Amino acid sequence: MKYLNDQQSQQLRLADTADLRPNSNEVLIATQASGINRADLLQLDGHYPPPVGASDIIGLEVAGQVLSAPPGCNFQVGDKVMALLSGGGYAEQVCVDVGSVMPMPANLSYVQAAAIPEAFITAYQALFTLGRLHEKIAQNGEPPVRVLIHAGASGVGTAAIQLANLSGAQVFTTASSAQKLAAAKALGATHLINYHQTSFSQYIKQATGGAGVDIIVDFIGGDYLSKNINAAASDAVLVNLAMLGGRYGDTFDFAKVLAKRLTLVGSTLRNRSDRYKSDLIGQFSHQFLDYFATGQLHPVIDSQYTYKQVACAYQKIRDNLTIGKLVLHSFDQ
């Protein structure tokens, strides 16, 4: 099979290797499209190695056709599926635990489906498993639960805005340009903050009458820590998924954390167990998968590339020019 190989040079090139042999609990998928994630760039740069036992081929999500499946599972040869991976997505074939595979919505293309698993499962985990959005909605009544989603034009950000909006939350989001904020508004965000022009913590204080937001989904880290604490409501949950702005926060005010009864959670999804991912994907699928067929949820696709054009896709991400997901397709071009 063909796959993208870095050959220790931090430059991805097409190479050939033997076809895969799935374990008894794995589905073998013929890849038709692969989602691109910022984590892929980190792995290529040597900063995000795969978990022990995972493929060292880059790629965390695919859409394709089932080549083989464990007896008695819900998938058959020829089924169109999408899958969340720990690695291996930039290859013509992938093996993945059956619990990390989802049926592909019939109205979507392979490119669209490949943009769903990592973004929507990560967003679902942040909002509902870690942020307890359903619990807060059940408790709050009026006013609605307020959610702040940083990097609202990112893949996870566009997914989180849709999930929060569909669940009845009021969505605040940050982004770096008017174009990105317009895209976030179209997805359901009601409070749009250009972080180059406005302090998001001050904006939220004014917009909520000092009450703050109930859940914060953050990819930035760094000096956003203290700003997030200032923007948080009592009993809020701060969910940190990345540290694009730096590993260390500038200050940390324990008095505010205690006074507001805040919960600070850090999480990555890639190194979770198969059982955890299976449970998470099962919950997401039960609650939200049907909404893709109705159009109430949809993956936001910035652009698509052949596998030979991966360097162009990576450069667009490094330049922070994306709205939604970038997707690879077609090994033959």
Q: What is the pLDDT of residues 81-102, one digit of tens each?
A: 999 999 999 999 999 999 999 9
Task: Indicate whether 245 and 130 sit together in one domain.
Answer: yes
Task: Indicate whether 34 and 111 sit together in one domain.
Answer: yes
Band of residue 11 on the pLDDT scale cut at 50, 70, 90:
confident
Task: Indicate whether 127 and 106 sit together in one domain.
Answer: no
The DSSP code sequence of 213-267 is: EEEEEES--TTHHHHHHHHEEEEEEEEE---TT-SS-S---HHHHHHHT-EEEE-
In a domain? residue 292 = no
Task: Indicate whether 132 and 259 sit together in one domain.
Answer: yes
Instruction: Check whether 141 has a pLDDT greater than 80.
Output: no
Task: Indicate whether 179 and 98 sit together in one domain.
Answer: no
pLDDT computed for residue 10 by the predictor: 73
Of the residues 266, 285, 309, the one at which a domain ends: 266
**In this structure, what are the phi and psi dihedrals at residue 293, rounded to the nearest 5 degrees?**
-70, -30
- Residue 38 to residue 259: CA distance in whole angstroms: 35
How many structural domains does the chain have?
2
- CATH (domain of 307): 3.90.180.10
**% of the chain surpassing 70 pLDDT:** 98
Task: Indicate whether 190 and 96 sit together in one domain.
Answer: no
- Residue 227 to residue 213: CA distance in whole angstroms: 12
pLDDT computed for residue 8 by the predictor: 67
Cα 222 from chain centroid?
A: 20
Task: Indicate whether 257 and 189 sit together in one domain.
Answer: yes
Task: Indicate whether 106 and 217 sit together in one domain.
Answer: no
pLDDT computed for residue 251 by the predictor: 83
Task: Indicate whether 92 and 151 sit together in one domain.
Answer: no
In a domain? residue 111 = yes
> With contact defined as beta carbons under 8 Å apart, do 2 and 91 qualify?
yes
Instruction: Check whether 6 has a pLDDT greater than 90.
Output: no
Distance in angstroms between the alpha carbons of the first and the last residue of the chain: 15
- Residue 95 to residue 151: CA distance in whole angstroms: 31
C-alpha to C-alpha distances, 191 to 149, 181, 185, nearest whole angstrom: 10, 9, 8
In a domain? residue 187 = yes
- CATH (domain of 175): 3.40.50.720
The DSSP code sequence of 100-131 is: GEEEPPTTS-HHHHHTSHHHHHHHHIIIIIIS
In a domain? residue 277 = no
In a domain? residue 149 = yes
Band of residue 249 on the pLDDT scale cut at 50, 70, 90:
confident
Instruction: Check whether 192 has a pLDDT greater than 70.
Output: yes
pLDDT tens, 279-323?
999 999 999 999 999 999 999 999 999 999 999 999 999 999 999
Of the residues 242, 266, 290, the one at which a domain ends: 266
In a domain? residue 26 = yes
H/E run at residue 163: helix 155-166
DSSP strand E in the chain: where? 2-5, 13-16, 26-36, 61-68, 80-84, 93-97, 101-103, 146-149, 170-175, 191-194, 213-218, 232-240, 263-266, 301-305, 325-329
Task: Indicate whether 60 and 131 sit together in one domain.
Answer: no
C-alpha dihedral, 86 to 324 to 174 to 287, nearest 10°? -60
Instruction: Check whether 116 has a pLDDT greater than 70.
Output: yes
Task: Indicate whether 173 and 255 sit together in one domain.
Answer: yes
Give the chain's length: 333
C-alpha to C-alpha distances, 119 to 85, 97, 141, 153, nearest whole angstrom: 12, 19, 28, 12
- Residue 331 to residue 255: CA distance in whole angstroms: 55
Mean of per-residue pLDDT scores for the chain: 95
Task: Indicate whether 190 and 53 sit together in one domain.
Answer: no
Of the residues 266, 289, 310, the one at which a domain ends: 266
- Containing structural domain, residue 262: 121-266
